[in-house]
């Protein structure tokens, strides 16, 4: 550093000396007041939750206003309304989707995932507005779709819009979409825990403390906002639930099996019809929402208007034993048909509510039948309906953890956990066996997108250090001995690098060339004092091989130590070992089927 040119320094009056602690204080204050994106991100999560909550409140109210105007205020619409409302609205939706809001089709869930993985979480504001309008029109007019997935996309879209305006970093933008999604879903579903779990389980696929904190903050603030306006009453009243006897688990297993089969039928129906509609000429695609609306009117005319719309009121009735098992069974089947028609036609709207509806009806039917034959053995029909919701959630949406927590969170009763676990497990396993590709994944692939399938990622075998490491080397050098002694030991071996045990019992690394240099210079000092030992990080056998890869690119040899005793060397690993493990044919996981 050169000395300052004193001739250029202006002469000024002597000033009062700056107190060093005051200078440190102001410096710290300035640093704290400076914009901190990480800190601001947490505050932003709360505001995103509030905005998403407000948006979902408006979305729900708009949807219900439309329902009132188009289908009337009666619980079941008149015949002409049931025919005209969904079909004419279908035409209007097509006009909007084909001209102004092109990105507004679908449920919203896959679109959010696509935005996250393809465009760094960016969702155009136009898509959000389009989803708001078209989904509220569709659901309000009686199309068999739900408001949860659109709410999820609306939340994610709002978050994206705010992040874009604030010019947040790309990394933050990618987190912002799931934060908004969780907020939207939590407000729509009035269940923050389930929303957070679902977003982590199905949208992000992984989590860290930072992500969890922001997602939880946004979900909680959105639910609080929503409850402020719409009240804390759930969308369907949950009767007190209970599992009376352990024998009931048999019935819940049957419910799980039926739920699994229903999930497969539902997924298969959409998987069959949707590509056919997408492959049809454009003018027909324009007409399909209207045609689906007409067919829905036909189902309503046949005596089952309950399948129209999201169906929360009828889920409430099913939970309170207001239908016979035959009607419940019919409603479950017809809802699969109605939702397949509405969704496959390209009408914007979600799959959550129909899934819950089908599950509630199926559960109610099983509960009612069991009640007929074993009246003293059975809990309330409402318990079965509630468990049924979780069953379809596990089977169709393939979100097993969320499905369990959803049933518990909605009921607020943990006594049914055994029933929920058993039923959901059966449903999930049957669905996985009969329909290897999850329904949501199937839909994205039909759209030509290959987004990460969270279920597949969960199933992928994780390679660990122990899959690649070599056994403990025969020679471990002692740092207290001179290089000559070490050279005697290693002279006949082909290795280039050697582990050295230091006096502190930690492990260091030494190379053959360094040792040779010390021998050549007849250095009598112990290795510890020669400055030739390099500190090396260590690994444990159960650690992910990806972690080892990062270490092995910086160090030629990494020791693998026991977790129980870090002075105990279990083996060693280098880059070559890791590459060999990755290349082994039996370790290749089927990424794309």
Which stretches of the chain bind other proteins, using CB under 8 A?
A: 33, 35-36, 39-40, 43-44, 47, 50-51, 54, 57-58, 61, 64-65, 68, 73-76, 165-167, 225, 229-230, 233, 237, 239-240, 313, 316-317, 320-322, 380-382
Rounded to a whole number, what is the distance in angstroms from the first to the last CA of the chain? 62
Shortest CB 363 distance to other proteins, Å: 15
Shortest CB 316 distance to other proteins, Å: 8
Q: Which is nearer to other proteins, 39 or 550 (CB)?
A: 39
**Where does 317-475 show beta strands of DSSP type E?**
470-471
Shortest CB 296 distance to other proteins, Å: 19
Helix (H) or strand (E) holding 223: helix 209-230
Q: Which is nearer to other proteins, 132 or 426 (CB)?
A: 132
The residues pairing with 508 across neighbouring beta strands, listed in sequence order, are: 500, 535
Shortest CB 192 distance to other proteins, Å: 19
Per DSSP, 104 falls in state: G
Q: Which is nearer to other proteins, 30 or 208 (CB)?
A: 30
Q: Which is nearer to other proteins, 153 or 306 (CB)?
A: 306
Q: Which is nearer to other proteins, 323 or 426 (CB)?
A: 323
Q: Which is nearer to other proteins, 167 or 586 (CB)?
A: 167
Nearest in space to 444 (alpha carbons), one of 282, 202, 92, 95: 202
The residues pairing with 478 across neighbouring beta strands, listed in sequence order, are: 501
Sign of the alpha-carbon torsion through 18, 20, 26, 30 = positive
Q: 213 CB contacts (<8 Å, ≥6 apart)?
A: 42, 45
Shortest CB 165 distance to other proteins, Å: 5
Shortest CB 162 distance to other proteins, Å: 8
Shortest CB 122 distance to other proteins, Å: 16
Q: Which is nearer to other proteins, 320 or 502 (CB)?
A: 320
The β-bridge relationship of strands 497-501 and 476-478 is parallel
Where residue 433 falls (left for φ over 0; alpha for ψ -120 to 50; beta otherwise) is alpha
CA distance 133 to 413: 36
Tokens matching residue 547 = 């972690």
User: How far, in Å, are 208, 259, 297 from residue 306 at the CA level?
Assistant: 42, 20, 11
Shortest CB 221 distance to other proteins, Å: 10
Q: Which is nearer to other proteins, 220 or 557 (CB)?
A: 220
Q: Which is nearer to other proteins, 78 or 506 (CB)?
A: 78
Shortest CB 50 distance to other proteins, Å: 5
Alpha-helix residue ranges (DSSP H) falling in 491-540: 512-520
CA distance 563 to 565: 6
Cβ atoms of 518 and 530 within 8 Å: the answer is yes
CA distance 148 to 270: 19
Nearest in space to 404 (alpha carbons), one of 381, 383, 387: 387
């Amino acid at each position: 550093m050169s000395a300052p040119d004193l001739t250029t320094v202006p002469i000024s009056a002597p000033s009062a000396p700056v107190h060093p602690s005051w200078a440190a204080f102001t410096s710290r204050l300035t640093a704290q007041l400076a914009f901190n994106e990480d800190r601001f991100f947490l505050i932003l999560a709360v505001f995103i939750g509030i905005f998403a909550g407000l948006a979902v409140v408006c979305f729900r109210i708009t949807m219900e206003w439309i329902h009132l105007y188009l289908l009337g205020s009666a619980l079941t619409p008149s015949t002409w309304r049931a025919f005209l409302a969904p079909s004419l609205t279908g035409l209007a939706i097509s006009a909007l989707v084909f001209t102004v809001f092109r990105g507004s089709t679908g449920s919203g869930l896959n679109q959010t995932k696509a935005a996250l993985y393809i465009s760094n979480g960016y969702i155009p504001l136009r898509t959000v507005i389009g989803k708001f309008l078209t989904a509220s029109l569709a659901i309000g007019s009686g199309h068999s779709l739900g408001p949860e997935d659109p709410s999820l996309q609306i939340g994610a879209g709002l978050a994206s819009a705010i992040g874009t305006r604030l010019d947040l970093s790309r990394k933050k933008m990618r987190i912002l979409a799931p934060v908004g999604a969780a907020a939207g879903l939590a407000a729509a579903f009035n269940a923050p825990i389930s929303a957070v779990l679902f977003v982590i389980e199905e949208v992000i696929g992984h989590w860290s403390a930072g992500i969890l904190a922001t997602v939880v903050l946004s979900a909680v603030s959105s639910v609080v906002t929503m409850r402020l306006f719409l009240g804390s009453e759930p969308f369907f009243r949950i009767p007190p639930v209970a599992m009376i006897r352990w024998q009931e688990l048999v019935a819940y297993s049957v419910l799980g099996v039926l739920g699994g089969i229903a999930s497969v039928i539902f997924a298969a129906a959409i998987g069959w019809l949707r590509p056919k509609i997408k492959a049809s000429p454009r003018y027909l695609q324009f007409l399909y929402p209207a045609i689906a609306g007409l067919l829905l009117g036909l189902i309503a005319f046949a005596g089952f208007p309950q399948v129209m719309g999201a169906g929360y009121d009828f889920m409430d009735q099913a939970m309170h034993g207001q239908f016979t098992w035959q009607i419940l069974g019919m409603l479950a089947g017809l809802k699969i048909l109605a939702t397949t028609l509405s969704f496959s036609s390209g009408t914007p709207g979600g799959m959550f509510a129909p899934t819950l509806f089908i599950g509630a009806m199926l559960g109610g039917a099983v509960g009612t039948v069991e009640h007929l034959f074993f009246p003293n053995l059975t809990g309330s029909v409402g318990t079965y309906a509630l468990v049924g919701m979780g069953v379809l959630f596990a089977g169709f949406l393939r979100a097993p953890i969320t499905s369990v927590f959803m049933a518990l969170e909605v009921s607020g009763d943990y006594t049914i956990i055994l029933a929920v676990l058993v039923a959901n497990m059966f449903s999930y396993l049957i669905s996985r066996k009969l329909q290897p590709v999850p329904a949501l994944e199937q839909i994205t692939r039909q759209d030509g997108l290959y987004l990460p399938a969270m279920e597949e990622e969960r199933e992928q075998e994780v390679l660990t250090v122990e899959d690649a490491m070599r056994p403990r080397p025969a020679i471990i050098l002692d740092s207290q001995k001179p290089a000559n002694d070490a050279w005697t030991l290693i002279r006949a071996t082909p290795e280039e690098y050697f582990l050295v045990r230091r006096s502190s019992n930690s492990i260091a690394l030494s190379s053959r060339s360094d040792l040779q240099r010390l021998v050549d210079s007849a250095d009598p000092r112990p290795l510890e004092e020669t400055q030739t030992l390099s500190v090396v990080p260590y690994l444990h056998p159960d650690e992910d091989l990806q972690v080892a890869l990062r270490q092995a690119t910086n160090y030629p040899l990494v020791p693998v130590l026991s977790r129980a005793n870090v002075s105990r060397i279990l083996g060693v690993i280098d880059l070559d070992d890791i590459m060999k493990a990755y290349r082994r044919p039996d370790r290749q996981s089927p990424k794309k089927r």
